[in-house]
Structure 1
Amino acid sequence: MEITVLDPRTGDTVAHVPVASETECDDAVARARGAFPAWARTPAADRAAAVSAAADAVAAAAAELAESDERETGKPRDDALGGVQAGIGTLRQYAELGPVHRGRSLLGGWSATDLMVPEPRGVVAVLTPWNDPVAVAAGLIGAAVVTGNTVVHKPSERCPGTGRRFAELVAACLPAGVLEIVDGDGTVGARLAEAEQVDVVAHVGSSDTGRAIARACAERGAKALLENGGNDALIVDDGVAPGWSAEQAAQGAFANAGQICVAVERIYVVESMAGGFVHALVDEARRWEDRIGPLVDERHREHVHSHVADAVRGGAQVLAGGEPRPGPGTYYPPTVLTGCTPDMLVFSDETFGPVAPVRVVPDFQTALAEAADDRFGLAATVLTADMAHAQHAWRALPVGTVKINAVFGGAPGGSAEPRRASGSGFGYGPELLDEMTAMKVVHLSSPE
């Protein structure tokens, strides 16, 4: 069995990739398990030096990786290169943080020493997505190996070449077995998630897959680290400039053709702002038409269009886009929908495409209440000139990240935990080192 990868810009074949067999998966896990004891005992500074060398190797191949990403996923070259650069920075960050990751000493008896010591968990299965294949893998793999774990990595079947090449560059800087790579689809990921010798499954992807992984891990006591789907709301409050708020909404909904984990998925605008905001958002959609790449493949384009068609059947109006672009490739135009209701798929589920569905609400409190009433809990954005509203919003929205007056951005080192159907655990930042280790309490006392 093999995977066929098509260039979403042209439909041309990029590669045929064999799917790893059950034996190949099991052997990769066994090699990682065999390499674990020695790697766990390797001094932290030496592990960090290896990760730093991996960052240098990836930097030298940055253009190659960006070109591969563009071919496999259709991501514009500059955006793809930005993802590679982000991955390089993440590897360097964990190379710095790894050796200073520490436990605690405790205040016990005078003749005793009490410690809390972080230890690597063992073998980590890293299952990564296609929409940012280098940056996401760099974080999970970098944090895992710098803390003394070994890894079996399965890149997304939608960009196996990019994922494998990145992992090979990293693996070349590590001892044999510390980073194993297997190719395949969801069946391979499921086998890794169920493997008895896998201690942690770190997954970034859909909520359905995340739930299956959580069940598999719960059955055998493994740790599941999950960042899954999102249905991020954007609230446009009274008193903000319509043009600026439309620019923010367009950036959140249309960047990378909407294929970003924290993309804007549903928009609530207070009634007093609706006319000017919607008019400006339609203008923004037209400006974005030539700035976005294709969707990753035809299957995903059908998914996105099914959400739009469902909204239209339910009474939504299409003010921009709304139909697949004719010609080669899997392009879908920036789309603006109005008259949306909470029961429509564009509001109740993750579309993950360049679609900006708008719901007009009477006031800010209604927007906040409806935005909070959702099964996902990844992120949300609030555009407001009212500081009281901003304070209320960040406390009331049950999501891992709340952004006030900016759809993207934030200080380095921040780390959030997704909630509900969006997953669990810290998937990035310094706290990811805590996720990759288990704390052991040690009591050393003198003999009588």
Structure 2
Amino acid sequence: MTSLLTPTPRLGFDPATKRFGQLIEGRLVDGATRVAVVDPGTAEQIAEAPAASSEQLDLAVAAARRALPAWSALDVGERGRVLHAVADVLAAHHEELAQLTTLEQGKPITQARDDVSWSIDFTRYFADYRLETEVLRDDDANRVELRRRPVGVVGAITPWNFPLFQALYKLAPALVVGNTMVLKPSPTTPLATLYFGELIRDVIPAGVFNIVGDGGDLGRRLTAHPGVDKVSFTGSTVTGRHVMAACAPTLKRLTLELGGNDAAVVLADADVEKTAEGLCTWAYSNAGQVCVSIKRIYVPSSMHEAMVEALSRRIAALTVGHGLDEQTQVGPVQNKVQYDKAREHLTVARRDGRIVAGGDALDRPGYYIAPTLVCDIDESSPLVAEETFAPIRSVLRYDDLDDAIARANATPYGLGASVWGTDIENAMDVAGRLEAGTTWINHHFQLTPDVPFGGIKQSGLGAEFGRTGVEEFTDVHVVNLKHT
């Protein structure tokens, strides 16, 4: 179903006339240039955002460097109190931040509200997180302690699919352990992040958190900057390789959360209707623009037709429209480049497979792709072999479970995967054989702040969340005492 309603945002300001500023050393600063921000639901410009010069990037990094000693010297409880105050600001401006996210990103407002709620929850969790000193040895000869110290100035780079949420889930753990940060949002979705910076400029001490705007070329300068000690990057695998190369000359610490081509393996004892509901939810959320969403669905031949029918029925019932329409379930893809790629994917789908649902770009203003399901397609097709960042998914049949597992693993990616079935012991066994950083059973894409998340193979390095993720923002410091 298609909704033609384009509601008016309910903001306390007009984005078209608002002067969004960068946050540098506690001050809102104009950019050296300005870039247009487009509503993907209409393909029309809605605002302008600042873009930093190299000199402004230097100022932001220098501000973070100056703020580092005092911030890291604060008691961790005080740093936590600042982060709780940040969460309070998020809560007070929940709807504004959600609507800005929808306007610039395109996702349904219900999903944008979830993004803000997750931002609050993750910030509060890490505000209370403590990395305790670990005693490795304490005997008559030695006492050896493993301590953690902040890595320094963190350069954070966020993509356009979860712009605000990803900013907060990098910011909170980095700051609570004593780091400072310079954050660069995507040039196509900077508004909610910049507005967040405006809201908290008097909450976080000046220089501890800085936001610089990007006209499309700032990322390489941030990652190579000699004043940055660590880079936390979320984005494509292709860009991740460039980030890694830029960090090499200064041996920066590095966390990469990159692309995925997640497989869902449906077992022969799965409930078709329940499984189809879960698959549909986690394949088409955010218009399929999630690195860890379901992209390849492996189904036993014995239930292939039933599963395709159940999925097609649900896909046909999805309401596609502008994200501010409360009825919308699938919004537009985020930008013109992604839209053109999605249209190319549809051409490949028609050439290499059989389209059983969707299959078209919608004839209306904006970047809309009908949720699409393809079957009878070979895995050598780029639609299956490569990451498809659009609401286009493939169903692949199998006759032998070992073969399905081998095919699911035959990818350079290794971010997430899921297994669907009623025999939990068997599902657990299959989950253990899938090559992924996370394998879910009977659900997909659950992220919580206490559980590490990261990829293997070419889906990334390191992890975020949980103790593992917090430790990524620290260096090891061993104190070894010899008793006399």
TM-score by length of 1: 0.95
The alignment partner of 1:327 has SS state of: coil
Residue 374 (1) aligns with residue 411 (2): yes
Residue 126 (1) aligns with residue 164 (2): no
Match of 1:417 among 445, 448, 454: 454
> Residue deviations 1:388-411, cap 9 Å, x none?
531332211110110111124377
Q: Counterpart amino acid of 1:400?
A: G
The alignment partner of 2:104 has SS state of: helix
> 5 Å matches for 1:181-220?
181-220=211-250
Provide the rounded CA distance (Å) in 2 between the counterparts of 1:194 and 1:373. 33
2:341 corresponding residue in structure 1 = 303
Provide the rounded CA distance (Å) in 2 between the counterparts of 1:204 and 1:165. 21
Q: Counterpart amino acid of 2:318?
A: W
> 5 Å matches for 1:213-228?
213-228=243-258
Displacement of 1:378 in angstroms is 0.5
The alignment partner of 1:107 has SS state of: strand
> 5 Å matches for 1:3-14?
3-14=35-46
> 5 Å matches for 1:3-402?
3-97=35-129, 100-108=130-138, 110=140, 113-290=143-320, 291-314=329-352, 316-402=353-439
| Gap change, CA 1:179 and 1:135, over 3 Å in 2 | same
Displacement of 1:247 in angstroms is 1.4
Structure 2 unaligned spans of 5+: 1-32, 321-328
TM-score by length of 2: 0.88
Provide the rounded CA distance (Å) in 2 between the counterparts of 1:146 and 1:445. 31
> Residue deviations 1:261-309, cap 9 Å, x none?
2111111111111011111111111011442111112211111221221
Compute the RMSD of aligned alpha carbons: 1.7
> Residue deviations 1:66-122, cap 9 Å, x none?
11011101111111011001001111001111xx21121232564754321100000
Match of 2:465 among 419, 422, 428: 428
Contact 1:254 1:288 in 2 (8 A): no
Contact 2:237 2:259 in 1 (8 A): yes
Contact 1:127 1:203 in 2 (8 A): yes
Greater fraction helix: 1
Contact 1:289 1:334 in 2 (8 A): no
User: Identity rate of aligned residues, in percent?
Assistant: 34
Displacement of 1:186 in angstroms is 4.2
The alignment partner of 1:265 has SS state of: strand
Q: Spell out structure 1 runs of 4+ moving beyond 6 A.
A: none
Provide the rounded CA distance (Å) in 1 between the counterparts of 2:447 and 2:232. 24
| Gap change, CA 1:55 and 1:411, over 3 Å in 2 | closer
The alignment partner of 1:277 has SS state of: helix
The alignment partner of 1:101 has SS state of: coil
Contact 1:123 1:197 in 2 (8 A): yes
Q: Counterpart amino acid of 2:70?
A: A
The alignment partner of 2:107 has SS state of: coil
The alignment partner of 2:465 has SS state of: coil
Choose 234-243 or 65-74, whichever is displaced more: 234-243
Displacement of 1:368 in angstroms is 1.0
The alignment partner of 2:116 has SS state of: helix
Provide the rounded CA distance (Å) in 2 between the counterparts of 1:136 and 1:47. 20
Provide the rounded CA distance (Å) in 2 between the counterparts of 1:425 and 1:170. 29
Contact 1:253 1:353 in 2 (8 A): no
> Residue deviations 1:8-60, cap 9 Å, x none?
11122111223211111111111111111111111111111111111101111
Structure 1 unaligned spans of 5+: none
Q: Counterpart amino acid of 1:29?
A: V
| Gap change, CA 1:411 and 1:53, over 3 Å in 2 | closer
Contact 1:55 1:170 in 2 (8 A): no
Contact 2:356 2:374 in 1 (8 A): yes
Provide the rounded CA distance (Å) in 1 between the counterparts of 2:258 and 2:360. 27
Provide the rounded CA distance (Å) in 2 between the counterparts of 1:305 and 1:104. 54
Provide the rounded CA distance (Å) in 1 between the counterparts of 2:403 and 2:123. 43
Choose 239-248 or 292-301, whichever is displaced more: 239-248
Provide the rounded CA distance (Å) in 2 between the counterparts of 1:61 and 1:219. 41
